Amino acid sequence: MPLDSDTDVHHDWTIEDALSLFRLPFNDLLFSAQTCHRRYFDANQVQMSRLLSVKTGGCPEDCAYCPQSAHHKTSVKAEKLMPVDDVLVAAKQAQEQGATRYCMGAAWRNPKDSDLDDICSMVEGVKALGLESCATLGMLTKPQAERLKQAGLDYYNHNLDTSEEFYGRIITTRTYQDRLDTLENVRHAEIKVCCGGIVGLGETCNDRAAMLTNLANLNPHPESVPINLLVRVEGTPLDHAETLDPLDFVRTIAVAKIMMPDSVVRLSAGREIMSDETQALCFLAGAGSIFVGDTLLTTGNPDKDQDVLLFERLGLHPAPAEGTPGAT
């Protein structure tokens, strides 16, 4: 296993390496993950981001988990792109509530060049507030990525979602390679990469291992790795998916941290349906970031008071920026 080398940062993982980690006794796995986390980050700091849907619904993609897909009959209605000023008012409110990064999501397969006028204005406004900026807009061309970089975009989110083998059972309107191409375009523009996946889709442990292997073999690693738990939404093909064992979710966080110790692993969607104990184990497993606010795009999230109480109980405190390299 690559952990035997002089450094714990590797880009040559195999699926069997990842499966070996998943098979570790739970206590050993969490000990290893927490040890890796402490080499790069303050273990008691958590970076806080806020996510806003700036263009909701009507997406032409058929992602089986997504209530914004035009292919599914959900309560989410298609809306136009939000006015720039409204987005910046919401960004200011998020900042006042402790967020240090502001993420803007649009339900597009890919943005039109004309759409980027307003998106770039949003990015510039968010940066002017002193927040880190992130966007998730679907697939990007190289010129589009470069334009976002010029506007000051810090991070671009584009998840792999799952393993390449399981991918076709979740999405048919874009390929796995399409996702990798967008990530390459983002890297070429020197924008930081936010890339992770979703668990609880009906995938196997082997699929989770394969997804993490694909992420960990990106060079460099994604700076931010969101691990999402499926939020089942009525009207989507996965609204009756089997509930994932919470300990399997914690294991996924821990394996992600060991394989990508220099990345910030984010405890993302699904926190609203997690117990405080499950979230505490995720932080112990190396999760170093959360989304704050009562909504994630169109699904629920714990409110501010719940997070404040949980942080107080665990002795955690918000990070001033994403992680602190070299912290002990």
Q: What is the pLDDT of residues 255-278, one digit of tens each?
A: 999 999 999 999 988 888 899 999
Percent of the chain with pLDDT over 90: 63
pLDDT at 219 over 70: yes
Strands 101-106 vs 264-267: parallel, antiparallel or unpaired: unpaired
Which residue from 110, 208, 99, 214 is spatially nearest to 156, judged by alpha carbons? 110
Q: Which of 120, 134, 195, 282 is catalytic?
A: 134
Provide Rg for the chain, Cα atoms. 18
Catalytic site residue 134?
Answer: yes
Q: Which of 36, 59, 120, 195 is catalytic?
A: 59
Catalytic site residue 205?
Answer: no
Q: How confident is the model at residue 3, as a pLDDT?
A: 46
pLDDT tens digits along 189-199: 999 999 999 99
Highest mean pLDDT among 68-77, 106-115, 204-213: 204-213
Q: Please, which pLDDT band fits residue 33 given cuts at 50, 70 and 90?
A: very high
Q: Which of 50, 174, 179, 194 is catalytic?
A: 194
Buried b (16+ CB within 10 A) or exposed e, 8-40: bbbeebebebbbebbebeeeebbebbbebbeeb
Q: Which of 36, 66, 195, 282 is catalytic?
A: 66
Which residue from 214, 217, 220 is spatially nearest to 193, judged by alpha carbons? 220
Whole-angstrom distance, CA of residue 261 vs CA of residue 34: 10
Q: What is the mean pLDDT of the chain?
A: 88
Which residue from 221, 213, 176, 170 is spatially nearest to 194, judged by alpha carbons? 221
Whole-angstrom distance, CA of residue 136 vs CA of residue 88: 17
Catalytic site residue 103?
Answer: yes
Whole-angstrom distance, CA of residue 137 vs CA of residue 140: 8
Q: Which of 36, 50, 63, 147 is catalytic?
A: 63
Whole-angstrom distance, CA of residue 248 vs CA of residue 266: 16
What's the pTM value of the predicted model, to 2 decimals? 0.89
Catalytic site residue 266?
Answer: yes
Q: State the DSSP H helix or E strand holding residue 75, giving kind and residue range, or none if neither.
A: none
262 phi, psi to nearest 5 deg: -90, 0
pLDDT tens digits along 78-108: 788 899 999 999 999 888 888 889 999 988 8
Catalytic site residue 66?
Answer: yes
Q: Which of 50, 101, 232, 266 is catalytic?
A: 266
